[in-house]
Amino acid sequence: MKERVSIAVFASGSGTNFQAIQDTIESGRLNAKIELVITDKPGAYVTIRAKEKGIPVLALSPKEFNSKEAYELEILRTLRDKQVEWLVLAGYMRLIGKTLLTAYPSKIVNIHPSLLPSFPGKDAIGQAIAHGVKVTGVTVHYVDEGMDTGTIIMQRAVDVIDGDRDQTEQAIHEVEHEIYPAALQSLFD
């Protein structure tokens, strides 16, 4: 078996995609190891999930740094110490800057709750419902300097459930938890 790919998961919230990735690793369906969870929200629930799995957490508040570059340099030092190969964004609510993009060319991926290029940015589910679309979806894509503008790796459609945000969101999360680990494994192969 090939050596496991060393990844860092970036998250700002509850960490359901982190959990799905870790569960897929534990089941043997994703040949990776999460070396580190990075969050820009020190109180985020993802930190609890990571600690329960014995995964180190780097929780940094960007406001404590005098620039985005200084913030990302601190992250980069830890990533290099841990010998991380890929950056996996899973509900990370910040744009990645030049420091990390330069250090990890074509090795940063994100998941977004829409069929990009439709509904980029924040609240994609709300945007889809407000526009009255019948189908939205999930996109896994490479990260570039734009907001949800990187090359698409994988997409799957999800029906909007009669304008019901909660049910639509639940359906999207179920698809995210399936396709993100699958997309990652295809990249690592």
What residues are annotated to the active site?
112
What the block records as the tokens of 166 is 């909660």
3-class secondary structure, 85: coil
Sheet order of strands, 152-159 included: 57-59, 32-39, 5-10, 86-89, 108-112, 135-142, 152-159
Q: How far apart are CA 8 and CA 178, in angstroms?
A: 19
93-132 as b/e, with b when 16 or more CB fall inside 10 Å?
eeebbebbbebbeebbbbbbbbbbebbeeeebbebbbeee
